[in-house]
Structure formats: C-alpha cells, structure tokens
C-alpha cells in the first residue's frame, strides 16, 4: 500500500516539471446537484492529461543501469505521451506500443515527444502484451500505465493540489480506467486523515471495476466498446485494486450519450476542451440524482484529459447535441408542386427551429408520382422544443418520420 512518504517524495520530484493545474467553478453543475462544484483541469496538464505525473516519477526512480536499457510502455495515447515526454526530459530512449485504432493526434504527439511508436492489436491490453514481449526481448524497463506503486504515487499528487485549492472539499469524482488516478487520490486523502467521499466513474460499455469489486479481485471486462479510449481498460491493476477496494466509496458507470453531453457541456459552459474519458466525472453528475451520488460538501470533478481527435470531437459534439435534444433529423413527404418545400420550411421557421440541412429527393422509398421526400436536419433548443417542432409539423398535416 502507498505511504505518505512516497506521495510527498513524488510531489518533491514533480514540483519543478509538472504544472499546478487550475480549478474552475461550474455554475451549471452546482445548480444541477445542489452542491458547490469545481473542475480540476488536468486536461491543461503537460501533454494534455494527468499521466505525466505517474510516468515521470516512475521513470525518475530508475537506476542508472535501468535507464541505460531504455523503457517501453503501452497506451491508447495519454500514458504514451506522458512516458515519451518524461523519457525525453530525463534523457532516456522510449518505445511505446499503441493500439492500431489509437487516435491519430495522440499517435503523432507521442512521436513528437520523442518515442518510437509501434502499433499492436485493437485495445490497450493488446498493446500491453506487445510491450511485455518487447521488454523480455530487449531488456527495456516496462512502464506500466497504472499497475505500479510509483505510478499511483505520482497520480496521488493531484489530491495534494486539490486540498491546497479546496481545503474544505467533501467529494471528489474521478474518471477511472486502470485505477491509478482514483487509487492515488483516495490513498492520499486517507493517509492525510481526510474523510472525503471518492467516486470513480467508468464508461458503461468498458467497465471492469463494478464486477471486479463485486468479485473481490480484478475481473476482465466482457466488452470494450466506448468513445472514451482513455479509460477503456479491460482489467484493473492489482496495485490500484488494493487501494480502490478499500478506500473508494462508489464506482459508477455512464452511457455514451452521457459522455457526449458532458463533453459538450465542458466546451460550451466551461470553455474547456475535454476528451470523452476526461469528462466521465461530469457525465456522472449529469446522470445520477445528487441523493443517489451521496455527495458530501463541496465537490471537485477531475477532468483527467483533453487529448481529443478533432474528427472525433465533431462526431461527439453532434452526438451530444442529439442526446441533449438539440438536434432533430426527420423525413417528410410533401406534394411535388411549386411552393411545397417553401410551405414546409415556413412551418419549421414558425416553430423556432433552425434548419441545418435539406435534402430533396424524388426517388426515395415508395413515393407517388406527385410526391417528394424531404430530409430535414434542424437545431432545436432542447427536448421540449424538439417535441413542439414535431407537433407543429404534425398539426400542419405532415407525416413525419424521425431519423434518430
């Protein structure tokens, strides 16, 4: 188990190189939960996530002989960048295994930080197999993304900063993959004698922790299909599990819709670019009633990363708009006569919706000779407004088919 001396040692080593990330207030989440909510912006950390904390401290503790052998790691992107940057800062050669579907910006950034990148398999777990084989063949030191006491000690420094910035914090909500971050935060609070509620959050479609905690040991997840690649870890680590099973109050899951809505909220309301994994804590506050979350006192939500592929960001924003009731796509059959389309668009305009796209087709489906199908994409103000737009179209005599 982690000791306070180890956490303090990590803080001392990291102080000259790691940013002290800000916390910002979230009025919308405070109003939603009835608690004072603040966001810990690790998305603004070096390399765009909390990962360099653990990676740098682990690598800094290597002996001269170990450093000479080089290091190897496996990651979908954030740990990869943290390891590459840390190794370059410390003058050590690094090799990183990444899944074949790793986001291109993370892949490019990892190379730019100085690592040799090799791609292996479709998941972090597949890449980790490749990294272990490489370590055995070359003698390179494996820098595990979460399952090492030095990694957990480095991540625990997030908790020290939170206590400095929010001395009266009562609840901390943490995105959770392998468990290094939530384990470190929970351990630090416990060792400092702070009675703080810690909540871990996973993507529902890649959640190994609930079953693992129920079984009393790490259990591999049955499925791994989520946009939140940063927390898509199939098997929790032994070191994090020892801490999480003892110290973390709840481990929750959130849907893909919730993740996309959370990312959208961070971008629109907090003006922060956060990746889906990094927004998992925000998604939990938007999904569960405050009573079910059992929030205590002031709440700090860790935004664990901000390395999002611009192409994915476009997709996720659209997904979030749809999930938030602000995006409506329909197909409507109208008469094929002059003014038919104009009349339809007048109904939409009167309802207050904004038309984003119109596709006019005379060959779709089973249309009669005097009919045309119109595909409309509209922006609405929320679920109630979306419903009123549909009602207005129906009242105007149009047969509407929603395209969800």
- Give the residue numbers annotated as catalytic, written as ranges: 51, 304
- Contact of 230 with 275, CB cutoff 8 Å: yes
HSE of 75 in the Cβ direction (CA atoms, 13 Å)? 32
Between CA 204 and CA 176 the distance in angstroms is 11
Q: How many CB atoms sit inside 10 A of residue 61's CB?
A: 16
Virtual CA dihedral for 387, 393, 398, 403, nearest 10 degrees?
-40
| Sequential DSSP letters for 223-283 | ----S-GGG--SS--HHHHHHHHHH-SEEEEE-HHHHHHHHHHHHHHS-----TGGGHHHH
Q: Which two tokens stand for residue 341?
A: 């389309």
Q: CB under 8 Å to 28, separation ≥6 — which residues?
A: 265, 269
Q: Apex CA 263: angle with CA 127 and CA 257, to 5°?
A: 85
Between CA 402 and CA 404 the distance in angstroms is 6
Q: Which two tokens stand for residue 374?
A: 């119109």
Q: Report the relative pairing of strands 94-98 and 71-74 from DSSP bridges.
A: parallel
- Contact of 180 with 151, CB cutoff 8 Å: yes
Q: Which two tokens stand for residue 334?
A: 């109208």
Strand locations in 291-396 (E): 298-303, 327-335, 354-361, 371-379
């Amino acid at each position: 188990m982690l000791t306070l001396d180890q956490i303090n040692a990590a803080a001392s080593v990291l102080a000259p190189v790691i940013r002290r990330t800000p916390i910002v207030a979230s009025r919308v989440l405070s109003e939603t939960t009835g608690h004072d909510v603040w966001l810990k912006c690790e998305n603004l950390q070096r390399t765009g996530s909390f990962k360099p904390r653990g990676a740098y401290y682990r690598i800094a503790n290597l002996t001269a002989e170990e450093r000479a052998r080089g290091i190897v790691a496996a990651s979908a992107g954030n740990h990869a960048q943290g390891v590459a940057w840390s190794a370059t800062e410390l003058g050590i050669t690094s090799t990183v295994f990444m899944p074949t579907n790793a986001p291109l910006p993370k892949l490019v950034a990892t190379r730019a930080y100085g690592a040799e990148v090799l791609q292996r398999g479709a998941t972090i777990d597949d890449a980790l197999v490749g990294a272990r084989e490489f370590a055995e063949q070359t003698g390179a030191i494996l820098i595990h993304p979460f399952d090492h006491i030095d990694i957990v000690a480095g991540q625990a420094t997030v908790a020290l900063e939170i206590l400095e910035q929010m001395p009266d914090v009562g609840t901390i909500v943490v995105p959770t993959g392998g468990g290094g971050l939530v384990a470190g935060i929970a351990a630090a609070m416990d060792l400092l004698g702070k009675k703080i509620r810690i909540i871990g959050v996973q993507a529902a479609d890649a959640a190994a922790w609930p079953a693992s905690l129920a079984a009393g040991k790490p259990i591999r997840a049955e499925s791994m299909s989520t946009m939140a690649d940063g927390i898509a870890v199939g098997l929790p680590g032994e070191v994090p599990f020892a801490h999480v099973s003892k110290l973390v109050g709840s481990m929750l899951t959130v849907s893909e819709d919730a993740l996309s809505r959370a990312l959208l909220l961070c971008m629109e309301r907090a003006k922060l670019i956060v990746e889906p994994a990094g927004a998992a804590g925000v998604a939990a506050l938007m999904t569960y009633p405050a009573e079910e979350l059992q929030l205590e006192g002031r709440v700090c939500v860790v935004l664990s990363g901000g390395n999002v592929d611009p192409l994915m960001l476009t997709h996720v924003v659209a997904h979030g708009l749809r999930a938030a009731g602000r995006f409506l796509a329909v197909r409507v059959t109208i008469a094929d006569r002059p003014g038919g389309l104009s009349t339809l668009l007048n109904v939409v305009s009167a309802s207050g919706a904004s038309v984003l796209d119109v596709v006019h087709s005379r060959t779709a489906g089973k249309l009669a000779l005097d009919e045309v199908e119109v595909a409309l994409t509209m922006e609405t103000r929320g679920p109630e407004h979306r419903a009123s737009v549909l009602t207005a179209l129906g009242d105007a005599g149009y047969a509407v088919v929603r395209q969800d």
